[in-house]
Chain A
Amino acid sequence: MSSPRGAGPRDDIAADAALVERVLGGDAEAFAPLVRRYLQPAYNVAYRLLSNRQDAEDLVQEAFLTVLANLRSFDRSRPFGPWFYRIVWTRGLNLRKSLARRAAEPLEAERHPGAADPSADAERSDLAETVLGALAELPERQRLIVQLFDLDGFSGAEIGEMLGLNPGTVRWYLHQGRRALRERLAPFQEALDEG
Chain B
Amino acid sequence: MRDDGAWDRDPVPDPVLQRLLGRVSVPPLGEGDRSRLEGAIMSAVGREAARATAPAWWEIAARWAPAAAAAGVAAVLLSGLVLFGSRLQASADSEAAPETAAVAQVIDRYPGDAVLASLISGGDSDALSPWREP
Contacts and interface: CB of A to CB of B under 8 A. Distances in A.
**A44, A132, A151, A185: residue with the most chain B Cβ atoms closer than 10 Å:** A151
A44 B5 CA distance: 26
A100 interface: no
Interface in B5-24: 5-8, 10-11, 13-14, 16-24
Contacts, number: 131
A5 interface: yes
A156 to B, nearest CB: 4
Interface of A: 5-6, 26, 28, 31-32, 35-36, 39-40, 43-44, 47, 53, 57, 60-61, 64-65, 68-69, 107-113, 115, 118, 124, 127-128, 131-132, 135, 146-147, 149-153, 155-157, 167-168, 171-172, 174-175, 178, 181-182, 185-186, 188-189, 192-193
B45 A128 contact: no
A64 B95 CA distance: 78
Interface of B: 1, 4-8, 10-11, 13-14, 16-30, 33-34, 37-38, 40-42, 44-46, 48-49, 53
Main secondary structure of the interface of A (DSSP, over half): helix
Contacts of B42: 31-32, 35
Given A61-B44, A155-B10, A171-B11, A47 B23 contact: no
A181 B18 CA distance: 11
Given A35-B42, A64-B45, A135-B21, A108 B26 contact: yes
Contacts of B53: 26
A69 B4 CA distance: 41
B23 A182 contact: no
